[in-house]
Amino acid sequence: MKKFAALVAVLALICFAAPAFAANPFMDVPMNHWAYDAVSQLASRGVVSGYPDGAFKGEWKATRYEMASVVARALAYVDMNKASKQDLELLKKLVVEFKDELDALGVKVDELDSRVAVLEEGVGGWKISGYFRTQWNWSDDNAVDPGWDNLWGVDQDTDWQTARWRLNLAKYVDEKVSFYGRLQSNTAGASPVVELAYMTIKFPWDITATVGRFWLDWEGDFYVTDFAGWSMNDAWITDIRLNSAMAFQKPFGMGEFQFVVGHEEDYGLYTDFSSDTYVWGARLAFNFNEQFRMSANYFKWDFFMANADVATLWGDLVFDFTPGIAFKGQYFMQDLDAGIAVTGEDSPKAWKAILDVDQDVLGGFTSLWIEYAQIDNNFLFMWADPYAWGAGYSGVTVSKYLAGTGMGVTVGDTNVLNIVAKQQWNEQWWTYVRYINADGDFDPFDYSGWTVSVRYNYTPNMFFELGYDKIDNDAMDANGFDDNVIFFRTFVSF
């Protein structure tokens, strides 16, 4: 961990001031003072590397200023080597005891206290976090499957549910190894499942490995979310969970290289193809300067079943005109084997362009996300549909669901316009508006929709959200769909 500049200054001060400490008539610390024992314990565990003159003395009478210098040295050492939680508790007591002397040395005690708190975050037992979410939907009619392989088929009646809860577990093992796990249940009464379980390992040459069951997302800059992180359009290829995989990251200069390989065995969504599936991918990202960055990406699903592989090559770029205005673009090329291709095109292409404007740029009134996409017939999304916002509120998609795969494929060439405006009025009241229009060769997939929402932050960790979702689609109306949904969500994070 990089040392803070303040701690570097403390060490420099100690080095220059140490020879003068012994000569100055500062008040002595009594020999029976608890601080001696605390320093001795820290020294025995290697947290204190030495007395200011370079040799720790077990029996010495120190001044309070000398003791303060030992505390400063210990804090600097912990910053580099990570002590235990017990060590930090002792250090915190020493900081309180000698805060006046530390202040006299020119060190801000409040900064040291905050630094100790930061250090404590990375050591000791388990860290637990998570959230709990409920969602209530109100609509009039039941969705009727119009016969397109469960394209919609979502019950749009009034629906009250515990939408999801998550429990995240993190453990800092040592300076090279960390563990992360997540238990999750998507409905009330359902048994929790292990959604994530992986280790992060630091290797020589600045290589970091992630091993286990984890999410992979190389497209985070290219989809927009609401204030709670719910995707209003999702990644097209990544943002997927790999059940058993290894990923490696290696930074270099202004760029970074990533490689991932995994094996999916009896993976629930993909059982229609085979019980064995290999996935692998590579990413090369480069920052040309502070404004312009690009990446090249490749990802492949290698299904054991013959003639059912999916490979996608894409490039993306981000150009920041100002700190609050960015242009983003992606271009995709796919290669679909005959077993996965539905009809026609087996080498579909797609692209999208985005203008992303922060709220501050527009006078604090609203942020703005304007996205336009063109997608060829038969383009395969790794999610059933990245534009199916609302978790089934309206149930409309721009792609046909491939039963048993978890994937979606466009039917006919399709254009999508997606606009999202989010407003933070103050700490408590937030709103957003979304407009989407999908125009494709296959009429049932043509639709437009509006979503508006008001959020009230009751506490820093809890909010209530009331929203309205409206979809205009002739095929839905003709088949008994309700295209109006009111939703209410509660969300608590911890």
pLDDT at position 103 is: 78
pLDDT at position 82 is: 55
- How far apart, in whole angstroms, are the C-alpha atoms of residue 115 and residue 92? 10
Which amino acid does the sequence have at 251? P
pLDDT at position 115 is: 63
**What are φ and ψ of residue 219, in 5° steps?**
-125, 25
Do 454 and 366 lie in one domain? The reply is yes
- How far apart, in whole angstroms, are the C-alpha atoms of residue 318 and residue 322? 12
Do 287 and 200 lie in one domain? The reply is yes
**Residue 233 contacts residue 389 (beta carbons within 8 Å):** yes
Domain count of the fold of the chain = 2
pLDDT at position 15 is: 42
Closest CA to 65 of 19, 114, 110: 19
- How far apart, in whole angstroms, are the C-alpha atoms of residue 24 and residue 12? 19
Do 143 and 221 lie in one domain? The reply is yes
Q: What sign does the CA torsion over 63, 68, 71, 72 have?
A: negative
Do 83 and 199 lie in one domain? The reply is no
Do 112 and 241 lie in one domain? The reply is no
The per-residue b/e assignment along 137-153, b for 16 or more CB within 10 angstroms, e otherwise, is: bbbeeebeebebeebbe
Do 262 and 330 lie in one domain? The reply is yes
**Residue 37: helix, strand or coil by DSSP?**
helix
Do 312 and 344 lie in one domain? The reply is yes
- One DSSP character per residue, 125-153 reads S-EEEEEEEEEEEE-SS-----SSSSSS-
How far out from the chain centre does Cα 181 lie? Answer: 14
**Residue 408: helix, strand or coil by DSSP?**
strand
Q: What sign does the CA torsion over 78, 80, 81, 82 have?
A: positive
**What are φ and ψ of residue 307, in 5° steps?**
55, 40
Do 192 and 87 lie in one domain? The reply is no
Closest CA to 180 of 208, 218, 211: 211
Do 242 and 266 lie in one domain? The reply is yes
Q: What sign does the CA torsion over 226, 231, 233, 238 have?
A: positive
Encode the chain (494 residues) as per-residue pLDDT tens digits: 444 444 434 334 434 344 433 334 446 777 778 888 888 777 777 776 655 544 445 556 778 888 888 887 777 666 555 566 677 778 888 888 888 888 777 666 666 666 666 666 666 668 889 999 888 888 765 443 333 333 344 444 556 776 688 999 999 888 789 999 999 987 766 788 899 999 999 999 999 999 999 999 999 999 998 888 878 888 999 988 898 999 999 999 889 999 999 987 654 444 444 457 889 999 999 999 989 999 999 999 887 665 678 899 999 999 999 989 999 999 999 998 866 665 667 899 999 999 999 999 999 999 999 999 999 998 988 877 888 765 444 455 677 766 666 778 888 899 999 999 999 999 999 999 999 998 888 766 678 888 999 999 999 999 999 999 888 776 666 555 556 788 899 999 98
What is the extent of the structural domain holding 196?
127-493
**Residue 24 contacts residue 65 (beta carbons within 8 Å):** yes
Q: What is the CATH number of the domain that holds 479?
A: 2.40.170.10
- One DSSP character per residue, 219-277 reads -GGGS-B-TTS-BSS--SS--EEEEEEEEEEEEETTEEEEEEEEEEES-GGGTTT-SEE
Of 87, 121, 155, the residue at which a domain comes to its end is 121
- How far apart, in whole angstroms, are the C-alpha atoms of residue 184 and residue 149? 29
Two tokens, residue 71: 């505390």
- How far apart, in whole angstroms, are the C-alpha atoms of residue 381 and residue 416? 14
